[in-house]
Structure formats: C-alpha cells, structure tokens
C-alpha cells in the first residue's frame, strides 16, 4: 500500500482521537488494552479473479458500511459481489485508509450500553477499544468477508457505472458496467445494488436526487473542514505514560487519556498557521497504534473540492508544508513530545460531508429534538450534532447544535425517491445537513449497511421492489424481526421528552434549530428564556434569509445602523423586532407601523403575540416564534 510521506521528517508528537469534539470521548467505550501492545501484519483480502455475469446483490464501496452490507446480504443467502472503484488494497476505507481510528459511539440514554450492535458489534469485539490499531481493524474486516461463501470481492476497478432499465414503475438499477485496471469491460447484472461509497457516487450517476453539503440551509459554498490524519512515531510505553500522566491531571480540564486514546491539547487552536486561510490546527484527538505510533486527527483544511483530484492533492501539499511547523510548535508547548518523530499522512483524506440523498424520508432536526422513533427504524443514533468548522475564521471553531439522547433512523432514508433497485447507506443517506452532523458517524452507517443487505433478501422473497418494501409496514416489520434475529437491537430505549418541548416557544425553536439559528450545545439548553437584543435579532433574520433567500430578499443592516453600541446589545423591543423583519421584506420599511403592517399582511400572527410576555424585552424564544411566523407566511415551509 502506498503511503504519502511528510517531508521533511521531524521530531514531535501529539495525541488524539475522536473525530468531532472533546466531549465525544464521553461517548467512547473504554477498554483495557495492554500497556505494551504487539504489532501484527495485514492479512490479504480474498479477491476473485473473474467476476461473474450475475449476482443477487452488488455492493459498491469497501468502507465499513459496504463491508457490513455485503456480509449481511451474503449471510441472508444472496450471491453477493463487493466491488470498489478506488485504488485500494484493503477493506475498511475511512477507518483503515483514512486512518480515522477513533469511534464516535451512539450511546444508549443510560450511558451504559451502545445502540448499534449486530455486525458492528461483531467487528468491534475484534478491535482494541475506543481507539483501534489500523491493522487490527483491517484484519477484522477481512476476516468477516473471508467467512462468507456467498460473498466475492473484487477491488481496483477503473470505473463502475450503473445500468438503468426503464420500466412501468420508473427507472430501476439492474446492474453495473465495470472497467478493470486493464481497461477490460464487463456487464454484471443484479437484483439490487447498494451504494456504500462515501459520497454516493454510484447513486448520483444513476440519477438519484441529492442536495450538496449545506445547501438545504442556504449555504452552497462552504463545507466542513477536510482532515488529513497523520502519524507520529516513537510512542513507547514510557512516552504514552507521560501523555496519560499529563492529561489526567486536574489542571488540564477537558483533557484525558486511557490506554488507547488521548484528547485535549486545546492550546493548539491558537497555533499561528503560516497559511491561515487554508489550514489550521484544532485541539488534538489521538489514537494509539500497536507499533509504537499514534494517529492524530487535528488538522483542518478549507476550500477543498472533494470531487476534484487536483484539489485533494493540493490539500496534501498544504498539509506536508504545514504539519512539520505544527509539530515544532507543539514541541515548544508540550515537553512530553520531545522524542516523538513525524511519520506519514493517511492515504485518504477524511472528508466529512458531500452529498445528501433525497430519499423517501429525510432525517430532520425535528426528529432529533423530539427523539423521534419511526415505524420503519432500522438503526438508532445519539451522537452529538458535531458541525466542524466551515471556514478559517478565528471565531469559527465549529459548533455542537445539541446532544440527542436517541433518535431513530428509518429504512426510507436509504431509499431514493425516483430510482428503484438501489439503496444508499452511510453518511450520504437521506439526512438533512444538520442532523447529518450526528448521523454521519460510522457505527450508525454500519447498521444501515446491515439493514440494506437484509432488506434485499426480503424484497426478493416477496417479489416487491425496494420502494414497495419501504412503503409496506408489514414487510418492514418482517425486516426488523430478521435484523433482530441477526443481532441488532431495534427496541427503542425509553426516554423522557426534553424540557424545551413543553416551552411555549417550542414551535419557534423547531424552525430556528432547523435553520441552524438556535444551538443547544451539549446541555441541550437553547436559552429560550434568555434576553435577545437588536444586534442578535439582525443576525437571526440574516440567518433566515440565507435559508430562504427568495422570501426575505432585502438588507436589514439599517435596523441597527442608528443605534449606539449600548442599545444594540440592550433589550429588544417588539417594535424593533418587527422593524427588522419588515426591512427584510420591503426595502426602506419604516419602524413606525412595522408591527401593524406585519399583522395586516399575516406575516406575524396574533397567536404568537399572545405568547410574548414583555413587549419591551423579547427573549430568544419570542424571536424564534416571530421568525417562524415569517417563514410560514412567506414560504409556506413548516418545521
């Protein structure tokens, strides 16, 4: 396998793990890996020389979600082909080639168990714990595949194209057209195809509908930062002991370490980048390896086009130049890194978000706010909604919108609206961009893969299409029973509604949270009763206009232009709030009479005004209700 070298080689160290935020460590399963782990060798993935002309199921993509999808289909008696169109030599994708070796677990509400079991647990039981050795993980994937007589693997395809048949029921994927590295072409037919590529490349080529990135909240330019994970060497048991000793002391809040992981080093947020518009460091997340190395997930690179090979290679060039400087800086800050040296960059970039399927159901922020379960749930999630930085601005350190206790993931999120014979699993399934910040984690994706493989078995046995299966409560119940027999736990744990559900402003919160305006962080405190102010009102309205640009079309900067600083951040009156909304709808709107105008035109409702207790001192909840009214009146959109 080809590794990308960091030049020049330097000393230094680091540690980290957790692909999102420091809090995420609380969601990791602790284990007791020996203090002196033993390195092993990667086993060879079993591959077929000649791909057959027909299979029951074809799974495209060898990331963890693809492995579980293929193993699930094979164990359900389906002749299955697992193929990949990247230059890969091992299974496991993001984990084994992107080197994202820390697990963002979906914990049960009681914090004692985890929600994703089945094939994920089968794999998890073979690795070290909260952070895992890449070789161990790779071999665990290989072992799962080797044991399936119905499963064949072929990697290294030059291209994988969908074959589409037009039927009376619409377009249906009926197989794939392959081109090998030797430019040999072959048509392979199948009853169904599962797209387990990170970016849903196959489904997009088949004509499935998607939104891209943050498009559904009005941002079609920015994406979450891209990360090249990198390796540090010289991590002897003695060095790791120093790391643990430092991080587990009380004087370093928000940091810690165990036998596999270390997290914290938040001073690295202030690292002075030599290329501040493109690359920076965040606090360190560290995962220990069995060969006296560790992997660091901390670099953030901006302005990368995930679909452009030249842009991805540029990201590597930027990283090669900057990471040695980061390490020099860390050595000055952290003496325990004195003997550590710089290793390699991960062969693949960690890209957090690209396409989002427009499926038969779209997971929403309201699902997470209300801890929704659905009649067709095939997985559960609970990981915090971790939105990584989208720009290099010093104020943009990402955000956690909330920390859900539980939500269900419907089977319909895997099913395209207009294409049959196709399922999409993993982070590019049908999730709105904000809940995707939670649902993108791999354990949940592996659960969707297992569900997809079993669903095709039922669809074939019952003689229905996948979209017909997705619409049938009877058949979905059959699917859920099958998955339960195969080790998944689909009985939703009991939870209590959040306090904000009973708040008079909850209807406004639903709209504000869905547009990314309201944030509850890890405590799920959206501060509905906290005082707002004219400047915040201005920013809130701009946020709404970004999501609904054809409705709120006018500039609102004039709403605070004549106010002094004290007034801008003082109490927000109803008249001032109405003025700001009116300006967004009508250029040059006057403050006097603005509220009457909004009432007359149905932009603000009497029901909302009745909920406002103090018109001279509006709260965040009051503002969210007003904004909800404006959105409903001007767009018809409800949340």
| Residue 4 in this model has a pLDDT that exceeds 50 | no
- Alpha-carbon span 612 to 615, nearest angstrom: 7
Measured between its terminal Cα atoms, the distance across the chain in Å is 48
Determine contact, residues 117/155, Cβ cutoff 8 Å: no
Residue 495 has, within 13 A of its CA and on its CB side, a CA count of 24
Determine contact, residues 114/129, Cβ cutoff 8 Å: no
Residue after which a domain boundary falls, among 300, 320, 345: 345
- Alpha-carbon span 403 to 401, nearest angstrom: 7
Q: What is the pLDDT of residue 44?
A: 93
Give me the sign of the Cα torsion angle 199, 205, 210, 211.
Answer: positive
| Position 313 in a domain | yes
Percent of the chain's residues with pLDDT above 70: 94
Of 119-123, 189-193, 264-268, 437-441, where does mean pLDDT reach its minimum?
A: 264-268
| Residue 22 in this model has a pLDDT that exceeds 90 | no
Rounded to whole angstroms, what are the CA distances from 636 to 14, 184, 551? 51, 52, 10
Residue after which a domain boundary falls, among 288, 311, 345: 345
Confidence label for 250 from pLDDT (cuts 50, 70 and 90): confident
| Position 469 in a domain | no
Closest CA to 69 of 4, 132, 153, 186: 153
- The domain of 598 spans 503-635
Of 82-91, 248-257, 345-354, 390-399, where does mean pLDDT reach its minimum?
A: 248-257
DSSP letters spanning 548-615: STTTS-S--THHHHT--HHHHTSPPPHHHHHHHHHHHHSTT--STTHHHHHHHTTSS-HHHHHH-S-T
| Position 596 in a domain | yes
- Alpha-carbon span 19 to 25, nearest angstrom: 9
Residue 403 makes CB contacts below 8 A (sequence gap 6+) with 23, 384, 385, 520, 521, 522, 523, 524
Mean pLDDT, to the nearest integer, of 340-348? 97
| Position 529 in a domain | yes
Do the strands 80-83 and 54-60 form a parallel or antiparallel pair, or are they unpaired?
parallel
Name which residue leads in pLDDT, 35 or 229: 229
| Position 398 in a domain | no
| Residue 363 in this model has a pLDDT that exceeds 70 | yes
Closest CA to 84 of 141, 4, 126, 122: 141
**Hey, which bits of 198-330 come out as E strands?**
210-212, 230-233, 256-257, 261-264, 279-288, 293-301
Confidence label for 18 from pLDDT (cuts 50, 70 and 90): very low
Q: What is the pLDDT of residue 36?
A: 65
> What interhelical angle do 64-75 and 442-462 show, nearest 10?
30
Determine contact, residues 387/434, Cβ cutoff 8 Å: yes
Q: What's the mean pLDDT when you consider all of the chain?
A: 93
Give me the sign of the Cα torsion angle 433, 439, 445, 448.
Answer: negative
Q: What is the pLDDT of residue 9?
A: 31
Give me the sign of the Cα torsion angle 521, 525, 530, 536.
Answer: positive
Name which residue leads in pLDDT, 29 or 63: 63
Closest CA to 192 of 453, 448, 410, 447: 453
| Residue 424 in this model has a pLDDT that exceeds 80 | yes
- Alpha-carbon span 470 to 467, nearest angstrom: 5
| Residue 562 in this model has a pLDDT that exceeds 90 | yes
Closest CA to 126 of 92, 153, 150, 88: 92
Instruction: Tell me how crowded residue 320 is: count the other CB atoms within 10 A of its CB.
Output: 17
pLDDT tens per residue, range 276-311 = 999 999 999 999 999 999 999 999 999 999 999 999
Closest CA to 319 of 281, 289, 367, 282: 281
DSSP letters spanning 50-114: S--SEEEEEEE--SHHHHHHHHHHHHTT--EEEE--SS-SSS-HHHHTS---B----B-TTSSSB
| Position 184 in a domain | no
- Alpha-carbon span 418 to 380, nearest angstrom: 25
Rounded to whole angstroms, what are the CA distances from 545 to 166, 580, 630? 40, 12, 11
| Residue 26 in this model has a pLDDT that exceeds 60 | no
Mean pLDDT, to the nearest integer, of 131-144? 97
Q: The tokens of 471 are what?
A: 């619409």
- Alpha-carbon span 253 to 247, nearest angstrom: 9
Q: What is the pLDDT of residue 33?
A: 45
Q: The tokens of 79 are what?
A: 């002749």
| Residue 210 in this model has a pLDDT that exceeds 70 | yes
pLDDT tens per residue, range 368-381 = 999 999 999 999 99
Q: What is the pLDDT of residue 31?
A: 44
Residue after which a domain boundary falls, among 345, 360, 386: 345
| Residue 574 in this model has a pLDDT that exceeds 90 | yes
Number of separate domains in the chain? 2
Q: What is the pLDDT of residue 111?
A: 87
Percent of the chain's residues with pLDDT above 90: 88
Residue 424 makes CB contacts below 8 A (sequence gap 6+) with 194, 195, 200, 203, 208, 357, 359, 414, 415, 416, 430
Residue 592 makes CB contacts below 8 A (sequence gap 6+) with none
| Residue 7 in this model has a pLDDT that exceeds 50 | no
Determine contact, residues 221/206, Cβ cutoff 8 Å: no
| Residue 620 in this model has a pLDDT that exceeds 50 | yes
To the nearest 10°, report the CA torsion of 349, 352, 358, 362.
Answer: 150
pLDDT tens per residue, range 63-92 = 999 999 999 999 999 999 999 999 999 999
Report CA 572 to chain centroid distance, whole Å.
36
| Position 302 in a domain | yes
Do the strands 185-195 and 54-60 form a parallel or antiparallel pair, or are they unpaired?
parallel
Cis omega (within 30 of 0) for bond into 8: yes
pLDDT tens per residue, range 182-203 = 999 999 999 999 999 999 999 9
CA angle 528, 631, 361 (to 5 degrees): 90
Residue 328 has, within 13 A of its CA and on its CB side, a CA count of 11
For 320, phi then psi, to 5°, come to -60, -35
Length of the chain: 639
| Position 245 in a domain | yes
- To which H or E segment does residue 454 belong? helix 442-462
Determine contact, residues 66/59, Cβ cutoff 8 Å: yes
Determine contact, residues 84/136, Cβ cutoff 8 Å: no
**Hey, which bits of 183-251 come out as E strands?**
185-195, 210-212, 230-233
Q: What does pTM read for this prediction?
A: 0.93
- To which H or E segment does residue 163 belong? strand 159-167
């Amino acid at each position: 396998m080809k590794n990308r070298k960091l030049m020049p080689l330097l000393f230094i160290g680091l540690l980290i793990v957790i692909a999102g935020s420091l809090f995420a460590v609380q969601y990791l399963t602790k284990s007791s890996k020996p203090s002196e782990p033993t390195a092993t060798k990667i086993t060879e993935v079993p591959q077929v020389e000649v791909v057959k002309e027909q299979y029951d199921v074809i799974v495209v993509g060898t990331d963890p979600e693809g492995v579980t999808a293929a193993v699930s289909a094979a164990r359900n008696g389906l002749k299955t082909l697992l193929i990949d169109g990247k230059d890969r030599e091992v299974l496991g994708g993001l984990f084994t080639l992107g080197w994202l070796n820390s697990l963002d677990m979906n914990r049960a509400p009681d914090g004692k168990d985890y929600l994703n079991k089945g094939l994920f647990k089968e794999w998890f039981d073979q690795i070290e714990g909260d952070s895992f050795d890449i070789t161990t993980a790779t071999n665990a994937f290989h072992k799962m595949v080797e044991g399936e007589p119905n499963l064949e693997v072929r990697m290294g395809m030059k291209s994988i194209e969908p074959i589409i048949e037009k039927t009376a029921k619409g377009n249906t994927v009926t197989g794939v057209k392959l081109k090998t590295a030797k430019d040999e072409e072959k048509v392979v037919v199948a009853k169904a195809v599962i797209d387990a590529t990170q970016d849903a490349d196959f489904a997009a080529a088949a004509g499935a509908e998607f939104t891209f990135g943050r498009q559904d909240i009005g941002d079609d330019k920015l994406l979450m930062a891209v990360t090249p994970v990198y390796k540090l060497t010289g991590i002897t048991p003695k060095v790791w002991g120093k790391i643990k000793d430092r991080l587990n002391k009380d004087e370093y809040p928000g940091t810690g370490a165990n036998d596999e992981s270390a997290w914290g080093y938040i001073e690295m947020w202030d690292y002075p980048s030599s290329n501040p518009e493109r690359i920076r460091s965040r606090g360190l997340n560290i995962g220990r390896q069995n060969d006296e190395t560790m992997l660091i997930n901390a670099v953030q690179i901006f302005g990368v086009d995930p679909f452009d090979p030249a842009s991805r290679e540029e990201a590597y060039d930027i990283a090669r130049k900057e990471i040695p400087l980061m390490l020099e800086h860390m050595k000055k800050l952290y003496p325990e890194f004195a003997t550590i040296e710089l290793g390699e960059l991960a062969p693949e970039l960690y890209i957090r978000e690209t396409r989002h399927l427009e499926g038969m159901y779209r997971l929403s922020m309201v699902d997470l706010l209300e801890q929704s379960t659905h009649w067709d749930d095939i997985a559960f999630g609970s990981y915090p909604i971790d939105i990584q930085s989208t720009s290099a601005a010093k104020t943009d350190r990402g955000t956690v919108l909330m920390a859900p206790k539980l939500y269900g993931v419907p089977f319909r999120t895997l099913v395209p609206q207009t294409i049959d014979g196709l399922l999409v699993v993993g982070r590019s399934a049908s999730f709105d961009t904000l809940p995707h910040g939670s649902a993108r984690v791999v354990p949940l994706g592996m659960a969707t893969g297992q569900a997809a493989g079993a669903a095709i078995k039922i669809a074939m046995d019952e003689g229905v299409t996948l979209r017909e299966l997705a619409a049938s409560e009877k058949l979905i119940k059959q699917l859920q029973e099958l998955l339960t027999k195969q080790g998944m736990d689909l009985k939703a744990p009991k939870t209590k509604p959040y306090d904000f559900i009973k708040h008079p402003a909850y209807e406004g919160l639903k709209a504000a949270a869905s547009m990314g305006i309201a944030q509850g962080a890890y405590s799920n405190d959206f501060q509905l009763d906290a005082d707002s102010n004219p400047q915040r009102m201005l920013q809130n309205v701009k946020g709404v206009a970004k999501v609904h640009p054809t409705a709120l079309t006018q500039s609102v900067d004039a709403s605070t232009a004549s106010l002094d600083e004290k007034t801008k951040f003082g109490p927000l009156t109803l008249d001032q709030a109405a003025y700001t909304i009116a300006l967004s709808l009508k250029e040059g709107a006057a403050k006097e009479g603005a509220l009457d105008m909004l009432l007359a035109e149905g932009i603000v409702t009497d029901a909302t005004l009745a909920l406002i207790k103090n018109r001279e001192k509006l709260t965040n909840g009051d503002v969210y209700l007003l904004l909800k009214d404006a959105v409903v009146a001007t767009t018809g959109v409800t949340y």
